[in-house]
Amino acid sequence: MSTSRTVRYACPYCGKDFEADIYDMINVEEDPDLRDRCVSGDLFRVSCPHCKKDFMNQFPLVYIDKPNRFVLWLSKEAPNSSLLQISKPLSEIGYTLRRCPTLQEFVEKIEILEDGVNDVLVELAKYDCFIEFIDNEKGVPEDVTSIEYQHTNNGVMKINVRADDKGMSFHVPIDMVEEEMEQNPELYEVDNEHFPVINGDWIISLFQETDGYA
């Protein structure tokens, strides 16, 4: 069951106070419309009743997808003790548990795990696409504004590397990335029970540690 509560906001535009509802937990099996509102961003869009302006507000949220067997914790902070109490039982029955510090990562993680793809594999594929983008002289690292997972069809991922006014799309076979991971499986192991953050910073840190950088 999804749960919500009422909070008080101060509008960043007009400064006036008002009340609005936010969700603490979403169960998409019971409330599939809330899934769509998460992905579109509408769930986090707040409208001031005074000046009528909208603004985005990220709040801590537990997102449960039972059919696809994953739980996401949307927060810049580590999960609290009550969430960690249920993490081991969920992990033992095959759930993927992840923390997402930003809305962008949260939305992308939903799409990745709904597609049934290993998100560690996706981050490695995104990193490889970044390297290829640079090696092909399509831009310099400072130009890259985002690296985005799009979808997976017939065992092939589509990854977009965006850089200012240009970009490049890559179609990456999953089995190719799996072979790369199998060369050093210990490097890509994660502590699923503690809601790890699996994102671009994480994959970069793996190679920095491998190369001897702190």
Residues 16 and 60 in one domain: yes
Print the domain residue range for 49: 3-114
Q: What is the pLDDT along the chain (214 residues), one digit of tens a residue?
A: 899 999 999 999 999 999 999 999 999 999 999 999 999 999 999 999 999 999 999 999 999 999 999 999 999 999 999 999 999 999 999 999 999 999 999 999 999 999 999 999 999 999 999 999 988 877 788 889 999 999 999 999 999 999 877 789 999 999 999 999 999 999 999 999 999 999 999 999 998 865 544 4
The label of the residue with tokens 């076979």 reads 173
Domain-ending residue, one of 83, 114, 145: 114
Q: State the pTM of this model.
A: 0.92
Domain-ending residue, one of 114, 137, 168: 114
Residues 193 and 161 in one domain: yes
Per-residue pLDDT of 21-34, as tens digits, reads 999 999 999 999 99
Q: How far apart are the first and last CA of the chain?
A: 43
Average of per-residue pLDDT values in the chain: 93
Give φ, ψ of 22 to 5 degrees. -130, 160
Residues 19 and 63 in one domain: yes
Domain-ending residue, one of 114, 132, 155: 114
Say what angle helices 119-135 and 174-182 make with each other, to 10 degrees.
Answer: 100
Residues 201 and 126 in one domain: yes
- Give me 24's structure tokens: 């603490």
Q: What is the DSSP string of 125-180?
A: HHHHHHHHHHHTTS--GGGEEEEEEEEEETTEEEEEEEETTEEEEEEEEHHHHHHH
Phi-psi region of 94 (alpha: psi -120 to 50; beta: other; left: phi over 0): left
User: How many domains, the chain?
Assistant: 2
Residues 129 and 157 in one domain: yes
Per-residue pLDDT of 121-147, as tens digits, reads 999 999 999 999 988 877 788 889 999
